[in-house]
Chain A
Amino acid sequence: MNPIVEREKGLLQLEQRIADLKASVGAQNVDLSAQIAALEDEYAKIQREIFGKLSPWERVSMARHPKRPTTAQYIEKLDQFDELHGDRQFGDDPSVIGGFAKLQGRRVLVVGQQRGRDTKENLRVNFGMVRPEGYRKVRRLFELASRLRLPIVTFIDTKGADPGIGSEERAQSEAIASCLYALAESMVPSVSVVIGEGGSGGALALGMTDRILMLEHSIYSVAGPEAAAAILFADAGKATQAAASLRLCSEDLSEFEVADEVIPEPLGGAHRDREVTIERVLAAVDRHLSELSRSTPDALREARYRKYRRIGAWAASEQAQAQGVVR
């Protein structure tokens, strides 16, 4: 299914063999250090071969890896968290988690999409696809953050907003539009981190922040590669090709001046060392919040306006003019 999961299998077997050998050294008191070293060399070699240069499609698979840390796991590592529920109108959407929290002693408001790690969890959280009541909860929390002067931290991990009948009946578009609006209005520093998949407007609803951070193997795209392939190549099977065309990897976003920072992952991906990954992410968020907290609310909003006003690509002749005059 997931090509990264497939390719990892050999590595995980090798890892097990090394662990077994090491265990038997302890138990039988024999010298196997040469064998162990050889296996470890091979392990490192295969690891470099697999993960040294990943194709865009493999990067997509990495972003969707079932063992990748999810929003709940990042929140668990915060000093404190008190969840706030519901949109006060219709329901509580479990596909997005939010609440008060403390990060390195700083009071913050945190929200994030919650992807499931298995089928059962995914059914509960709707595969991380947020419904209108979820976005309305998020909007409510964004507004609350502004009122209480709490910085906003968001974790982005969704294929996109829920495309169901009920979501359309309850005005999914308006729900997303009003999340964006709340972020535009907000008077507090905000930082988003794309931890897995950043899919379309459903992701951006949590992402129009002062700073956008991306994990190395996360992706951010106007549409999922499958949907893009279906629309543009009239063939959803061409998703690998669409993944390459869309330029959705973290270094692409950084080149487009959309991502402000790319946070490196352990070799083999975030799931190979969750502790380290989460630590790095939280440290980066804290650093950006510290920088932003030096600005006045008006300056924050002004800088945010300029940040997004500048994003785009113009005809060559236009480029210089657009950057100089219009902005």
Chain B
Amino acid sequence: MPMPDWLRVRRAQEAQDAAQWTKCPACGELLYKPDLKASHEICVKCGHYFRMHAADRIAMLVDGDFLEVGGEIEPGDPLGWVDRRPYPEKLAGDRQKSGLSEAIVTGFGSMGGFAVGLGVMDFHFRGGTMGTVVGDRVALLFERARERRLPVVIFTASGGARMEEGVLALMQLAKTTNAVERFRREGLYYVAVLTDPTTGGVSASYAFQADVVVAEAHAAIGFAGRRVIEQTIRQKLPENFQRAEFLLEHGAIDMVVARAQLKDTLVRLLDYGVGAAKAASSRNGAAR
């Protein structure tokens, strides 16, 4: 028997309503999505940080326009990889779900009046893993910023190197490291913001090669995954292990910043990093 129209309409309405609500994974509170967005994706009840989409992050940070670079670079399938699904199928699925073409968005914009190269990784695309395209876009961002003599800010969120691209993914650590080094060698300034989670190959390359390493509050940061360590040592790890606050205590990062304060903090960090040079050049200009 076909579904009657009134039921079809009601089901659709229910689905639409449900899409407006989400459950906090930490406290179970039902949250209205527009409210969640207004609160920077933080649960109003328990303060849990949702993982932000790259587009929301960029909107939160950038003053006006954002000019993407490297958006046209797309991944191949070097291993012909199939596990539960073929790799190209997984990529297509993630593209549709996230609206992104890859796990990082790179480009140029301005923050608090400072022109910057900005890279924002997105955990919703292949767990933020780094394959050829993430490596290429990061390298391209540093290359372009070097030409324009602009600082770079990168938000990391990554499960590490992308297994489905095999050793070619591993080699992106090398590609990005070389790009960071060439950029910094010219006295240019790089700030990394480590968000939840930043692990594996990304943490072992450009995440920890910045002049200033900021972590967003509560972010899980580490080289080995929590499960891998638990399996190796055969015991449960304390809750705060590999959290941003734990890294701060152990001297691994410069600061932990709450999401609501991130933009203001970054603008101050940009001011320290490029403000002095800017002031000097305008003084010289005035003298002439």
Contact = CB atoms under 8 A, between A and B. Distances in A.
Interface of A: 161, 163-165, 167-174, 176-178, 180-181, 183-185, 200-201, 204-205, 208, 220-223, 227-228, 231-233, 245-248, 252-253, 256, 258, 304-305, 308-309, 311-319, 322, 326
Interface of B: 72-79, 81-84, 131-133, 135-136, 139-140, 161-175, 177-182, 185, 199-201, 203-209, 221-224, 228-229, 232-233, 237, 241-242, 247, 250-252
Nearest to A321: B72
Given A176-B223, A256-B167, A311 B175 contact: yes
Contacts of A246: 79, 163, 166-167
Nearest to A176: B204
A247 B79 CA distance: 7
Contact of A314 (B73, B83, B162, B201): B73
Given A164-B229, A201-B170, A312-B76, 15 more contacts: A161-B204, A168-B224, A177-B205, A181-B180, A184-B181, A201-B173, A201-B200, A204-B170, A205-B204, A247-B79, A311-B175, A313-B75, A313-B77, A313-B165, A326-B140
A265 B135 CA distance: 34
Contacts of B77: 313
Contacts of A258: 167-168, 171
A181 B81 CA distance: 31
Interface centre among B73, B84, B169, B170 (most CB of A within 10 A): B170
Contact of A208 (B140, B174, B223): B174
20 contacts: A161-B224, A163-B229, A168-B223, A172-B223, A177-B204, A178-B209, A180-B204, A180-B205, A184-B177, A200-B161, A200-B170, A208-B178, A223-B163, A233-B83, A247-B78, A311-B132, A311-B175, A312-B135, A314-B76, A322-B136
Given A201-B223, A309-B139, A313-B132, A171 B208 contact: yes
Contacts of B177: 177, 180-181, 183-184, 208
